[in-house]
């Protein structure tokens, strides 16, 4: 009987050790055997970093269970014995080796740092990057994708938009034979839940409190309910799907904090529903020409199957150019693709923006 094939080593720098980073570390630790059997890889975290503890490294792989125990109790990663240490993540990255950077730090909307610097360092060294860090990709997505492309390596930011739903890979890879023009949909689960509960009769404060109890809203929900999270996602979609880098001030924004009962009742009486809709559209294919980018409450016809009570976000429609050609082998050469690829077909005559437009003063 032949020996099983050797496992391919995958050494990871895990940068960011908050909620997401610790969850990933637990998953890698508990699923190591399954990853080896299913994918033939031996995953080890060799470098680990957070803002408070700096960067620690063990070329043979860190004992994740031993690192997680003190960290979960508020301890520092520097308490881990037998490791090399650097005071900053960049120093640690520059002094060590890995096969993959997983970047999950908290990087603010002002400049996306320190995440941008970490990703640039890895990409410049030919190390692929996987990230759930929104603002670095929102602010510098085109640049980061081009750095990866020039090195012939992967840059994956799937969970920056709609968590684990494979939106980016579907639009970039699965629909590679299309020429994109527009996207429209609901991108924030928290706001979707709040609007659904308000339509059922709750006040905004009651609906938000319920979302927080359900774990859908943060203690400080402003990024969601004021629309900043959806703005970041629109910018990411623009950068990675259309190849067009947007500034925050190019995305008009209206949140839901100022919605009153009259607007909710008006939606119900018209036979429609309020949804916080993200729209991204360009005058010409492939992100060329004038851009229309906004996130705002809109009236949506009930025939459109956007989720109601679950709070899940969903893309509504991806519109490619009508002249796009399919690369699929089961289509005749030169045959045009349909004009829209949708999870729900929207009708402009039925979907109307609320009377009050996005406010200039409320833009990100």
Mean pLDDT computed over 43-58 = 95
The answer to whether the beta carbons of residues 299 and 274 sit under 8 Å apart is yes
Q: What is the pLDDT of residue 302?
A: 66
**Is pLDDT larger for residue 70 or for residue 239?**
239
Domains (ranges, CATH) in the chain?
8-166 (3.40.50.720), 172-362 (3.30.360.10)
Q: Using CA atoms, how far apart are residues 136 and 113, in angstroms rounded to an integer?
A: 7
Write down the pLDDT at residue 297: 95
Which residues have C-beta within 8 Å of that of residue 275, sequence separation ≥ 6? 186, 192, 195, 297, 298, 300, 306
Residues 6+ apart with CB under 8 A from 229: 134, 187, 188, 190, 223
pLDDT of residue 356: 32
pTM recorded for the entire structure:
0.84
Each residue's pLDDT tens digit, 111-162 = 999 999 999 999 999 999 999 999 999 999 999 999 999 999 999 999 999 8
pLDDT in tens, 280-318: 999 998 899 999 999 999 998 765 555 544 455 554 566
Say if residue 246's pLDDT is above 60. Answer: yes
């Amino acid at each position: 009987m032949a020996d099983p094939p050797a496992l391919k080593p995958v050494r990871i720098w895990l940068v960011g050790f908050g909620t997401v980073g610790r969850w990933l570390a637990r998953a890698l630790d508990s699923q190591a055997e399954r990853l080896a059997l299913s994918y033939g890889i031996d995953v080890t975290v060799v470098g680990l970093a957070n803002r408070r503890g700096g960067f620690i490294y063990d070329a043979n792989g860190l004992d994740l269970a031993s690192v997680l125990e003190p960290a979960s109790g508020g301890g520092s990663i520097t308490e881990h014995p037998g490791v090399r240490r650097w005071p900053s993540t960049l120093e640690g990255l520059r002094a060590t080796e890995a096969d993959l950077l997983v970047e999950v730090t908290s990087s603010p909307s002002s400049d996306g740092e320190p995440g941008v610097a970490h990703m640039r360092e890895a990409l410049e060294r030919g190390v692929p990057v996987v990230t759930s860090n929104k603002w670095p990709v929102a602010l510098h997505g085109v640049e980061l994708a081009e750095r990866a492309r020039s090195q012939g390596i992967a840059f994956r930011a799937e969970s920056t938009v709609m968590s684990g739903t494979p939106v980016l890979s579907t639009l970039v890879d699965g629909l590679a034979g299309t020429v994109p023009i527009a996207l429209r949909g609901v991108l924030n689960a928290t706001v979707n839940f709040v609007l659904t509960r308000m339509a059922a009769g709750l006040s905004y404060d009651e609906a938000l409190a319920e979302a927080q109890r359900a774990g859908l809203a943060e203690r400080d929900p402003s990024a969601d309910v004021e629309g900043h999270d959806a703005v970041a996602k629109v910018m990411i979609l623009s950068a990675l799907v259309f190849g067009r880098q947007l500034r925050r001030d190019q995305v008009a924004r209206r949140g839901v904090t100022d919605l009153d009962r009259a607007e909710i009742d008006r939606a119900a009486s018209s036979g429609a529903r309020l949804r916080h809709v993200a729209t991204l559209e360009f005058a010409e294919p492939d992100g060329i020409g004038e851009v229309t980018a906004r996130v705002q409450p809109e009236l949506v016809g009930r025939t459109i199957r956007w989720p109601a009570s679950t709070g899940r976000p969903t893309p509504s429609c991806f519109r490619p150019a009508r002249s796009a050609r399919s690369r699929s082998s089961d289509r005749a050469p030169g045959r045009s693709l349909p004009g829209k690829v949708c999870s729900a077909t929207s009708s402009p005559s039925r979907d109307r923006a609320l009377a009050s437009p996005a406010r200039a003063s409320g833009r990100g």
